[in-house]
Structure 1
Amino acid sequence: MLKLLLLQVLASCLWLGHSEVVTSFASCLKFFYGNTTPGNALEPQNPAWICQRYKNQYHFATLYDRTMRIPVYSAYIYSPGPGNRSTSWFVEPQLINPSFSKDMDTEISIANRYKVTPQQIGQSQAINQDYKKLQGLDRGHLSPSSHRSGNNNKWATFTLTNIVPQNSTLNKGAWKDYENQMMAQLTQGCTTTYVIVGAVPGNKYISNKRVNVPSHLWSAACCQTNTIRKTWAVIAENNKNQVQNLTLAQLEARLTTLYRKGNVSLFHSDCPR
């Protein structure tokens, strides 16, 4: 009996030690201003909290919807710089089994290592097959590679748990302008900029209704300058090539209406509304 109890305790310790897909962002709170995460109003029915890890290092944080198979949001620190885009796409091993590797990996590598099928990999997340033969849609990053510096940081954004089906015209047009030109302007004078980018689930799907197509994409930032804190926010409908500039308070109010799960709060109260 004692031996059985010890084995159960050991199994529990191993489970906790291996799991990066857990019930909080305790391992990666540094990506949120003041270590404060958005409230429960954004939480889906079947959530996964992912501390996005690549090459034994945390790169950003994602709240993932296992049912819709899209991220709710990704949080990161804005730090653009040189580096190459990844030629591979990754998935999250611990969405398959909590005892699998903490690091994101390719489907082929996971299949070979753990002897699992594509169906098993895709049970609670999107896989490459879901994004093939897209029409009018791109693989849209929430945490974009252009906001990171160095190969590993950029490559870590190429995980399908950070991707949504995004309108191609928006992705290559107004949203790209916001990510590149507008963010560069708005972050001038910021010492550290905390960003959260999210997607509102819509009524359309791809891949035989496996992956949701968001109705809206949104982004908010809170930065510290030498003298003050400042914030900004945008939202875009996922069928138009247009980005709307908002205050943080306006975005939170808009998301409260869109998600209909209670008042949305994205940042620590020190971030001005």
Structure 2
Amino acid sequence: MKIALLLLLTASSAAIANSSSCSNYGCPTGASSTNDIVERPIYVLSNNRKTKFADWAAYKVTPKTIDGPSRSRTWKADPKIYSRYTLEPNDYQDAWATIQTDRGHQVPLASFSNTDHWSDTNYLSNITPQSSNLNQGPWVQLENAVRSVARTGDNAYVVTGPLYEYYFATLPQANEAHTIPSGYFKVVFTVIGSNVKASAFIMEQTSSRYLDFCRTEVTIDEVEARSGLNLLPSLPSYQATDVEGNIGGLSSRLGC
């Protein structure tokens, strides 16, 4: 029984590492071993059973996935996760009125509006309570910039997730224990042959709506230190210093 379980876990880990939503450099590692991995055609995420939110989500934005018609936002509990480990629509009741948060997508709907799977972004496993100023300001600006990269013809890989560095708020009507993030990271990179260009950003929940997202750029090394994740686990060591230790690899293409 233990051997069979080990083989199952090994096979599952290999599948996640090779998910089409991640680049050839692998999906993030370092999250809790009890997390629920959810893989769908347009993204893969790692749901944390304690916080009730994904520790990371990975997706690939392409010229074919963007610029579709306007799509609706119908929120749903994730059927792939036991109800006690994720939130439900009623948990967000009165959130904006009391703590000024939106239902913030980690994987943005607009980046997949031209696919048959756009509604998968509305599962609450892909949502966090995100400050309205952040969600409607610098965060969406960065998401728009990522789509601009895709419009040039290149695929843009993205890994995004929460940080828990201070108390921000609590959902007033939630009946499950949860921890709202204090901020978020987003790492954007392109892979052309063996050439990797990347930029990373960290934004706080307290960010101004008018903050220029370019001012929040950091190194991937900083994101990894603060999140506890290895975001590009299969990146060769000879590339890591340049890609993960420096700022600005993809800045100009993101409009910075």
2:252 is aligned to none
Cα distance in 2, alignment partners of residues 266 and 255 from structure 1? 7
1:68 is aligned to 51
Q: Which amino acid aligns with 1:215?
A: S
Alignment of 1:177-188 (within 5 A): 177-180=141-144, 182-187=145-150
Cα distance in 2, alignment partners of residues 87 and 191 from structure 1? 28
1:85 is aligned to 71
1:234 is aligned to 201
How far 1:188 moved relative to its partner? Answer: 6.0
Structure 1 position 49 matched with structure 2 position 15: no
The worse-fitting range, judged by mean Cα deviation, of 74-83 and 195-204 is 195-204
1:31 is aligned to 21
Cα distance in 2, alignment partners of residues 253 and 87 from structure 1? 33
* Contact 1:130/1:210 (<8 A) preserved: no
**TM-score, with structure 2 as normaliser:** 0.74
Correspondence for 1:143 among 100, 107, 128 = 107
1:154 is aligned to 118
Cα distance in 2, alignment partners of residues 25 and 195 from structure 1? 20
Residues 214-247 of structure 1 show CA distances to partners (whole Å, capped at 9, x for unaligned) of 1111111121247843111111001112334425
The worse-fitting range, judged by mean Cα deviation, of 158-167 and 222-231 is 222-231
How far 1:254 moved relative to its partner? Answer: 3.9
* Contact 2:182/2:205 (<8 A) preserved: yes
Moved over 4 A (4+): 185-190
**TM-score, with structure 1 as normaliser:** 0.69
Cα distance in 2, alignment partners of residues 164 and 211 from structure 1? 11
Q: Secondary structure at the match of 1:94?
A: coil
Which stretches in structure 1 are left out of the alignment for 5+ residues? 1-7, 53-57, 97-120
Cα distance in 2, alignment partners of residues 83 and 218 from structure 1? 28
* Contact 1:137/1:165 (<8 A) preserved: yes
Q: CA separation of 1:61/1:25 partners in 2, compared to 1, >3 Å: closer, same or farther?
A: farther
* Contact 1:91/1:160 (<8 A) preserved: yes
Cα distance in 2, alignment partners of residues 216 and 238 from structure 1? 5
Q: Which amino acid aligns with 2:85?
A: S
1:253 is aligned to 222
Q: Secondary structure at the match of 1:205?
A: coil
Cα distance in 2, alignment partners of residues 68 and 25 from structure 1? 25
How far 1:30 moved relative to its partner? Answer: 1.2
How far 1:255 moved relative to its partner? Answer: 3.8
Q: CA separation of 1:66/1:155 partners in 2, compared to 1, >3 Å: closer, same or farther?
A: same
1:174 is aligned to 138
* Contact 1:220/1:232 (<8 A) preserved: yes
Residues 144-197 of structure 1 show CA distances to partners (whole Å, capped at 9, x for unaligned) of 0111142533211001000000000111111111111x2244456553221111
Of structures 1 and 2, the larger Rg is shown by 1
User: How well do the aligned residues superpose, as a CA RMSD in angstroms?
Assistant: 2.9
Cα distance in 2, alignment partners of residues 84 and 185 from structure 1? 18
1:214 is aligned to 181
Cα distance in 2, alignment partners of residues 124 and 253 from structure 1? 29
* Contact 2:146/2:188 (<8 A) preserved: no
2:231 is aligned to 266
* Contact 1:25/1:61 (<8 A) preserved: no
* Contact 1:84/1:154 (<8 A) preserved: no
Which stretches in structure 2 are left out of the alignment for 5+ residues? 245-256
Structure 1 position 205 matched with structure 2 position 194: no
Structure number with higher strand proportion: 1
How far 1:35 moved relative to its partner? Answer: 5.3
Q: Which amino acid aligns with 1:75?
A: A
2:86 is aligned to 125
Cα distance in 1, alignment partners of residues 88 and 21 from structure 2? 26
